[in-house]
Amino acid sequence: MKTIGDIAQLAGVAKSTVSRYLNGGSISEPTKKKIERIINETGYMPNNFAQSLKAKKPNIIGTIVPRLDSFAASQILTGIDKHLRELNYQMLISNTSQELEREIESVYSLYNQKVAGIILLATQITKDHLKAFNETELPVVLVGQQHDKVYSIIHNDDAAAYDLGKYVLENGHRKIAYLGVTEKDIAVGVRRKEGFNRAISEREDCEVEYYETSFKMEDAIKISSHIIETFDPSIIVCATDNIALGALKAARLKGLDVPSALSITGFGGYEITGIIHPGLTTVKFHYEDAGRLAADSLVTLLNEGQVPLLNLSEYQIIERESVDKKFGR
Amino acid sequence: MKTIGDIAQLAGVAKSTVSRYLNGGSISEPTKKKIERIINETGYMPNNFAQSLKAKKPNIIGTIVPRLDSFAASQILTGIDKHLRELNYQMLISNTSQELEREIESVYSLYNQKVAGIILLATQITKDHLKAFNETELPVVLVGQQHDKVYSIIHNDDAAAYDLGKYVLENGHRKIAYLGVTEKDIAVGVRRKEGFNRAISEREDCEVEYYETSFKMEDAIKISSHIIETFDPSIIVCATDNIALGALKAARLKGLDVPSALSITGFGGYEITGIIHPGLTTVKFHYEDAGRLAADSLVTLLNEGQVPLLNLSEYQIIERESVDKKFGR
DNA sequence: ACAGACGGCGGAACCGGTTCCATTTAAATC
DNA sequence: GATTTAAATGGAACCGGTTCCGCCGTCTGT
């Protein structure tokens, strides 16, 4: 591949002139034309490493993701990637397979790769995380979790869960099972539960039981079956769409019709929830936008711009068929 | 941040000596100790750009992927990433949003990032692809598509489709709609269709119609509705699980029971196909293994090992409820 | 007509490493 | 003790860009 020197030689100018052409300095029209022609002919591309060496401004952004095979993660990644590309950055993905220590490792390893900054699709933020951020002095943007010391983009879990809770109540449900996840996950495990609970607390006449499961569909199926057997609610409110899908399966295995015998709701807005039957009533988060926002925030940070510590990404309740309207009858 | 020169100065040696210490040349015990101490004290880390500028041994593997938000892609990526990590490589993902030119761009851009090699989750291979591979002289491994000049890992589409065809016939289906995709996609568009057709050709008494759609569920819904109205087959064989999901939806919209009124099969083995009702009979490809294999092949290639030009990844037919057993009755 | 200003350009230093080559130093051989 | 030989180290070139500096020529103002 050609270097800037080759181009300069072919154009009969100094390499500084070519560099100036590339970066927009003052150049006469004929020289500009000449260089332009040569560059087009040769398909020259500047060597990124040489550029970054002097400029000290790496253009790679590291993204740490707990898993690649999740709808939410891939949507967020897509958003990050698209926007980063527009801003002339590259995305380096590091997958941690949901192992927390690997997140820390990854921070250091990305630091080593000389990334300009890090976007972390976080699950929890520990002291070790903060230590890594401090030691590497890398700008960090969190997605999906909030921390008062780190820039964060979060889905508005609390408000969404509150709205969903209201919706459930409005439709006449009074015996409710909430199927959540570990409280270690602040956003999904705590915020959603709390938001939902806030809505419920505004009424006196309803009975709620809280359960906990993992993010896996299989586990959700088991626990849902158990809930149906022992508590027999009129609705199961699930903390994620995958869990809701599991609950749906459990209902079917038990021979319960959804929504007439049992209602179910999810969280996430995965495409599949609109395809299955019955369509799942869920909260749609704008994951791709969140990713976009994260990319934008990080780049702004890199250019010493101002960014709010916390950014909320939008949501909307998608009403489909999985919730029985007891008052509509 | 300290440079190698600073370290050299602090240790009272030349920077070449420090470089040698770092990369394992011959160094006396006392100097080694001295440098080691300084490096530990300062927490020195070599500048990756400067290294890659002159050097030779990048440890980043570029992966080009048409989209991140697909089950297959994320599984393959997971496989690649896991294995690469074991081999001490990093994965740099480049997303092309299904734009073909971007694949070419990405090859050059990855070359520019000085990746050691490229894994391409291919859709089609054009002359421009080959040109880019040649010009950059980067080792390339294809996943999902085959080419006689490039190392490839393919899912055994042909055999899988053949087996599935046999299965469909064995269950008594004789009026069959095959819902495929563009033939530009050799693996999914051509191989699957051909394999299926081979099975069908072994019988004289069946009626088959071939249709084409995109990879999107919405499109599949529309076309499936059309197929039902105009052709009214006993089964729709779909080239991907997403298409099958669309067909399922169409059947439901038309009020057709699956499988008694209409059978449906897919390709892929997405987890969701086992959760929905009725469970989708499909062909499960071992995507993660394929990714693993791709990573392994590329690294072997980098170390000048021998790798077969073509590797087949495994599959299995998953029998669920979406196919009516006409002979079982 | 001449001094000063300015646009366009080439030369060279520099970024932070690696590596080749020459030289010093120490160890080994006779 | 002198000579051979290998190990250890320093010096300098180099990778491919960017950027500072200064020279040259033309244009402008008086």
pLDDT in tens, B254-290: 999 989 999 999 999 998 999 998 999 999 999 999 9
> Does the residue B329 lie in any domain?
no
Bridge partners, A257 (sequence order):
none
Q: Is residue B319 in some structural domain?
A: no
Residue B202 placed within a domain: yes
Of the candidates B129, B118, B105, B154, the one whose C-alpha atom is nearest the C-alpha of residue B301 is: B118
pLDDT tens by residue, B197-235: 999 999 888 899 999 999 999 999 999 999 999 999 999
Candidates B50, B77, B248; nearest CB to A53:
B50
CB B270 within 8 A of CB B71: yes
Distance in angstroms: CA B127, C1' C15: 38
pLDDT in tens, B93-114: 888 888 898 898 888 878 777 7
pLDDT at A56 (0 to 100): 65
Contact A249, A223 (CB under 8 A): no
Confirm whether A322 is domain-assigned.
no
Q: How many CA atoms lie within 13 A of B294 on its CB side?
A: 39
Phi then psi dihedrals of residue B141, to 5 deg: -125, 130
| CATH code for position A32 | 1.10.260.40
What domain count does chain A have? 3
- Calculate ∠ Cα A311-A312-A315, nearest 5°: 160
Q: Does B294 reside within a domain?
A: yes
How much is the average pLDDT of B26-43? 85
Residues 6 or more apart whose Cβ sits within 8 Å of residue B228: B250, B251, B254, B256, B262
Strand partners, A150: A147
Q: CB of B249 within 8 Å of any CB in chain A?
A: yes
Domain shared by B16 and B137, yes or no = no
Q: From the Cβ of A16, is strand C under 7 Å away?
A: yes
Mean pLDDT of A26-40: 87
Does residue B137 surpass a pLDDT of 60?
yes
Q: Place B194 in a pLDDT band, splitting at 50, 70 and 90.
A: very high
Residue nearest D6 (alpha carbon to C1'): B26
Mean pLDDT of A45-50: 81
DSSP element (H, E) containing A53: helix A48-55
User: Which H or E run contains B38?
Assistant: helix B29-42
The pLDDT of residue A75: 93
Provide, in whole angstroms, the distance separating residue A18's CA from nucleotide D28's C1'. 30
Read off the pLDDT band of B328 (50, 70, 90): very low
- A141 within a domain of the structure (yes/no): yes
Given a cut of 90, whether residue A135 has pLDDT beyond it is no
Chain B interface, best mutation among A56, A135, A277, by max B CB count within 10 A = A277
Whether residues B27 and B170 fall in one domain: no
- Residue from B115, B1, B130 nearest A48 by CA: B115
Compute how many other C-beta atoms are within 10 angstroms of the C-beta atom of residue B171. 19
Tell me which chain B residue has its CA closest to the CA of residue A287. Answer: B69
B192 with B252, same domain: the answer is: yes
Q: For the segment A149-160, what is each residue's pLDDT rounded down to a tens digit? A: 999 999 999 999
Q: Which nucleotide is nearest to A25 (CA to C1')?
A: C8
**Averaged pLDDT score across all residues of chain A:** 90
Query: Domain of A296: which CATH number?
Result: 3.40.50.2300
Beta carbon of A48 within 7 Å of strand D? no
Please check whether residues A163 and A273 belong to one and the same domain.
yes
Which chain A residues touch B272 with a CB distance below 8 Å? 245, 272
Q: Nucleotides of chain D within 7 Å of a protein C-beta?
A: 7-12, 14-20
Whether residue A63 is found in the same domain as residue A116: yes
Q: Does A22 contact B at CB distance below 8 Å?
A: no
The residues pairing with B92 across neighbouring beta strands, listed in sequence order, are: B62
Q: Are residues B103 and B35 in the same domain?
A: no
Q: In chain A, positions 258-287, which contact chain B (CB-CB < 8 Å)?
A: 271-272, 275-277
Give the range among B1-5, B69-73, B242-246 with minimum mean pLDDT. Answer: B1-5
In this structure, the answer to whether residues B14 and B82 fall within a common structural domain is no
Residue B41 or residue A187, greater confidence? A187
Report residue A141 as tokens. 């943007």
Dihedral angle computed from the Cα positions of residues B207, B213, B215 and B216, in that order, rounded to the nearest 10 degrees: -120
Q: Are residues A143 and A173 in the same domain?
A: no
- Residue A151's Cα: distance from chain center in Å? 14
Query: Residue A327 above 70 pLDDT?
Result: no
Within a domain: residue A25? yes
Is 50 exceeded by the pLDDT of residue B157? yes
Q: Which helix (H) or strand (E) holds B287?
A: helix B287-302
**pLDDT at res. B329:** 41
Whether A120 and A205 share a structural domain: no
Question: What does the pLDDT average to over A79-98?
Answer: 86
Minimum Cα–Cα distance from A80: chain B residue: B95
B53 touches strand D (CB under 7 A): yes
HSE (side-chain half, CA atoms, 13 Å) at A151 = 23
Question: Residue A321 falls within a domain, yes or no?
Answer: no
Instruction: For A42, name the nearest residue in chain B, comparing CA atoms only.
Output: B135
The C-alpha atoms of residue B157 and residue B167 are separated, in whole angstroms, by 15
| Residue among B156, B105, B98 nearest B124 (CA) | B98
B68 part of contact set with chain A, CB < 8 Å:
yes
> For residue B137, what are the domain limits?
60-155+287-313
Determine the pLDDT at residue B55.
63
For chain A, percent helix, then strand, then coil, each to nearest 5? 45, 20, 35
A68/B50 touch (CB, cutoff 8 Å), yes or no:
no
Q: Is A248 on the interface with B (CB under 8 A)?
A: yes
The confidence score (pLDDT) of residue B123 equals 87
Chain C bases having any atom below 7 Å from a protein CB: 7-12, 14-20
- A75 CA to chain B: closest CA distance, Å? 6
Each residue's pLDDT tens digit, A224-257: 999 999 999 999 999 999 999 999 999 999 999 9
Residue B327's pLDDT is: 63
Does B276 share its domain with B189?
yes
What pLDDT is stored for residue B57 in this prediction? 61
B168 vs A232: CA distance, rounded Å: 40
A42 Cβ within 7 A of any nucleic strand D atom: no
Q: Are residues A93 and A110 in the same domain?
A: yes
DSSP A177: E
- What's the rounded mean pLDDT across residues B240-254? 95
In chain B, count of helices (H) and strands (E)? 13, 12
Least confident of A95-99, A167-171, B246-250: A95-99
Q: What percent of chain B is modeled with pLDDT above 70?
A: 98
Nearest to A93 among B50, B93, B97 (CB): B93
pLDDT tops 70 at residue A43: yes
Same domain as A280, residue A191: yes
Residue A266 has, within 13 A of its CA and on its CB side, a CA count of 30
Strand order of the sheet with strand A207-213? A207-213, A175-181, A235-238, A263-265
Residue A308's pLDDT band, with cuts at 50, 70 and 90, is very high
Per-range mean pLDDT, top range of A49-53, A279-283, A297-301 = A279-283
Count of CB pairs separated by less than 8 Å, A with B: 123
Write the CA distances from B230 to B201, B223, B227, B281, integer angstroms.
23, 10, 5, 24
Confidence (pLDDT) at B322: 94
C-alpha distances out from residue B110 to A47, B67, B90, B95, Å: 11, 17, 13, 12
Residue A329 has pLDDT above 60, yes or no: no
Give the best residue of B47, B76, B103, B113 to mutate against chain A (max A CB count within 10 A): B113
**Between the ranges A122-126, A201-205, A315-319, B4-8, where is the mean pLDDT highest?**
A315-319
